[in-house]
Amino acid sequence: MSLWSVLSLAFAMFLLAASPGPGVLLTVSQSLRAGFRSALPVILGIISADLLFVSLALFGLATLAQQADFLFRGLPLFGALYLLWLGWRYWCLLPNGATVSDQQIAAGQRFLSGFMTIFADPKVLLFYFGFLQNFLSLEPLYWLDAFWVILIIGGVLFAVMGFYALLAEQARAWLQAPQQQRWLNRSAAAILWFTAAILISTLI
């Protein structure tokens, strides 16, 4: 990849990552209710799912995946059911004194909520397959180019999501009342349910 391609990819990814979407909303909601460290598993889950799709797109598996009926119908259904269940858990969380006890939602479940928000929509794979061809040739693909793409996309996603989480944490000091905590928990639930509804709509 040329320096111009690297800079162009980084800027384009920044614009995409900064655009409000389910991943950004889920990250902000988690940071508001329990702080930046609590949002890290969500961020890592989002990045992991994105990089998995990026890797599949880079190595020419997008066309093969498109022909797999389970991938494009089974995954959205499974992901939607998981997000609906996790949303119910957030909805039922109760304020615990001055802060919300984050132990009620384990780090692994927070990671999966971020991961499934992206991974349960296989169309993201096709998006990356078309998107990356604007910046490098996938035939043939050089390992160094693949390394730079994964590094840039992962780095930009972490920086943007981390920035959103830090901003949300700064606002958390004003949201410590039990009623406000309950609102934050239910906002997180609503975001998960909204994402699940989008996934289900892709099956209709």
Whether residue 27 is predicted with pLDDT greater than 70 in this model: the reply is yes
Q: Where are the domains of the chain?
A: 3-201
| Backbone dihedral angles phi then psi of residue 68, each to the nearest 5 degrees | -90, 110
Decide which of 17 and 122 is more confident: 17
83 HSE (CA, 13 A, CB side) = 31
135-162: average pLDDT? 83
* Residue 21 pLDDT: 78
| Whole-angstrom Cα Rg for the chain | 18
Three-state secondary structure call for residue 96: strand
**Selection from 184, 16, 169 nearest residue 100 by Cα:** 184
